[in-house]
């Protein structure tokens, strides 16, 4: 074995091994194959009215437990400089944010955004019009902590307009909560409805209770009651991700890609449909369950076919016999065969030469 230089095995000062707690933290913030819920960071701008502060508290109640609310006011302007937002998002390990502010130029201002790989991906600025908080619905049932919402998007703009489609994607990403594979009907307790009409977005929240179907069907009937928060939003400024960054953020790890199985596919209902390749089966000799009426009908059909066959054979035999008699010269009265005499050729008399 060759001698080893021990000086080369020493770790340089710049590559000092981190502490165990730091190593665990760095491992926890690394990209994971199965990511958990996207935590939301709620911020206050330089100036924030009491109304917008109440809105942030309502968002915290809807997003709990994957949410952090910072009560300190911050001089943050994500459309001009996103470095402050990116720093706070990385420090608090959050992926989405909501920034509430209020000033003379943009009163009741709400900014929703998200980041990707520590950089700002997209953000949209809304003006909050009419607003009803959770406190305005006293006595109404509220959502349970950690329950996932059901969404209803109403309006042709969400299907025909590219900007509204991106807004829908942003809202879904902000409120989606923890990703799950299966849902229990008992865990569905609230609905968020977003309606696009006349250039505004009308966001309404309803509490849902499942009632027994009076018709006797197993599927329960939902009963919706308003529980808040409700708000009317007007889009002011928007900054969406460039195509290359958006494409990079949509990439999925190879471990999550579903491998295609030969002769197997999934329909629109999530059911797996398979295709089997078998040899051609001979079913002519197999006898299945027969009914008496069908057996009688088959016997009649076979008898009729036999009678027609015999009739055709008799007709053919008669025609053949008539033709034979004509050719052979058969006399029907005497029953003898009359043979025609061959015709004799007339011989010419030989004459001598003329003298």
What digits encode the pLDDT tens for the residues 70-121?
Answer: 999 999 999 999 999 999 998 998 999 999 999 999 999 999 999 998 899 9
Residue 29 reports pLDDT greater than 80? no
Residue 346 reports pLDDT greater than 70? no
In a domain, 150, yes or no: yes
Residue 219 reports pLDDT greater than 90? no
Higher pLDDT, 9 or 228: 228
Helices (H) and strands (E) in the chain, counts: 8, 12
- What is the pLDDT at residue 298? 82
The mean pLDDT of 134-140, rounded to a whole number, is 89
Binned at pLDDT 50, 70 and 90, residue 47 comes out as very high
The mean pLDDT of 301-318, rounded to a whole number, is 86
The mean pLDDT of 121-141, rounded to a whole number, is 92
CB atoms inside a 10 Å sphere around CB 37:
17
Please write the tens of the pLDDT for every residue from 143-187.
888 888 999 999 999 999 999 999 999 999 999 888 888 888 878
Strand, helix or coil for residue 269:
coil
In a domain, 335, yes or no: no
The Cα–Cα gap between 221 and 233 comes to: 30
- What is the pLDDT at residue 171? 95
In a domain, 17, yes or no: no
The Cα–Cα gap between 65 and 237 comes to: 29
- What is the pLDDT at residue 278? 80
Residue 3 reports pLDDT greater than 50? no
- What is the pLDDT at residue 37? 83
Backbone angles phi, psi at 118, to 5 degrees: 80, 0
- What is the pLDDT at residue 157? 93
Number of domains in the chain: 1
The Cα–Cα gap between 143 and 130 comes to: 22
- What is the pLDDT at residue 22? 85
In a domain, 12, yes or no: no
- What is the pLDDT at residue 5? 47
Average pLDDT in the chain: 84
The Cα–Cα gap between 194 and 128 comes to: 14
The mean pLDDT of 278-301, rounded to a whole number, is 76
Look at residues 56, 59, 42, 48 and name the one whose alpha carbon lies nearest to residue 101. Answer: 48
In a domain, 61, yes or no: yes
- What is the pLDDT at residue 275? 85
- What is the pLDDT at residue 4? 44
The mean pLDDT of 340-351, rounded to a whole number, is 54
Residue 21 reports pLDDT greater than 90? no
The mean pLDDT of 197-218, rounded to a whole number, is 90
The Cα–Cα gap between 75 and 80 comes to: 11
In a domain, 111, yes or no: yes
Task: Give the domain CATH number at 103.
Answer: 3.40.50.10480
In a domain, 24, yes or no: no
The mean pLDDT of 224-232, rounded to a whole number, is 92
Q: Where are the alpha helices (DSSP H) in the chain?
A: 6-9, 20-28, 50-63, 83-91, 157-160, 162-175, 243-249, 292-328
Structural domain of 202: 35-251
In a domain, 275, yes or no: no
Rounded to a whole number of angstroms, the distance between the first and last alpha carbons of the chain is 151
Look at residues 71, 136, 131 and name the one whose alpha carbon lies nearest to residue 107. Answer: 131
């Amino acid at each position: 074995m060759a001698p080893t230089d021990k000086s080369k095995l020493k770790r340089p000062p710049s590559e000092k091994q981190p502490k165990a707690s730091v190593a665990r933290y760095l491992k926890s913030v690394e990209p994971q194959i199965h990511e958990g819920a996207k935590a939301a960071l709620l911020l206050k701008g330089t100036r924030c009215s009491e109304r917008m502060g109440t809105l942030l508290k309502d968002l915290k109640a809807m997003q709990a437990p994957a949410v952090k609310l910072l009560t300190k006011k911050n001089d943050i302007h994500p459309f001009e400089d996103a470095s402050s937002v990116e720093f706070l998002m990385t420090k608090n390990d959050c992926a989405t944010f909501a920034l509430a502010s209020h000033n003379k130029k943009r009163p009741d201002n709400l900014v929703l955004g998200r980041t990707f790989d520590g950089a700002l991906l997209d953000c949209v600025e809304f003006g909050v019009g009419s607003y009803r908080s959770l406190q305005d619905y006293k006595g109404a049932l509220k959502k349970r902590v950690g329950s996932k919402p059901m969404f209803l998007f109403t309006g042709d703009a969400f299907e025909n307009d590219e900007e509204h489609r991106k807004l829908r994607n942003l809202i879904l990403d902000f409120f989606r909560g923890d990703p799950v594979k299966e849902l229990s009907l008992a865990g569905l307790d609230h609905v968020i409805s977003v309606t696009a009409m006349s250039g505004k977005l009308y966001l309404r929240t309803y509490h849902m209770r499942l009632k027994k179907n009076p018709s006797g069907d197993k599927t329960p009937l939902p009963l919706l009651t308003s529980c808040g928060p409700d708000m009317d939003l007007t889009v002011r400024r928007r900054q969406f991700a460039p195509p290359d960054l958006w494409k990079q953020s949509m990439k999925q790890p190879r471990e999550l890609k579903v491998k295609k199985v030969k002769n197997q596919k999934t329909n629109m209902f999530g059911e797996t449909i398979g295709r089997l390749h078998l040899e051609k089966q001979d079913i002519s000799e197999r006898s299945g369950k027969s009914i008496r009426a069908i057996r009688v009908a088959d016997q009649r059909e076979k008898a009729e076919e036999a009678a027609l066959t015999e009739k055709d054979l008799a007709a053919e035999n008669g025609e053949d016999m008539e033709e034979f008699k004509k050719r052979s010269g058969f006399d029907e009265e005497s029953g003898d065969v009359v043979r025609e005499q061959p015709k004799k050729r007339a011989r010419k008399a030989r004459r001598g030469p003329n003298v």
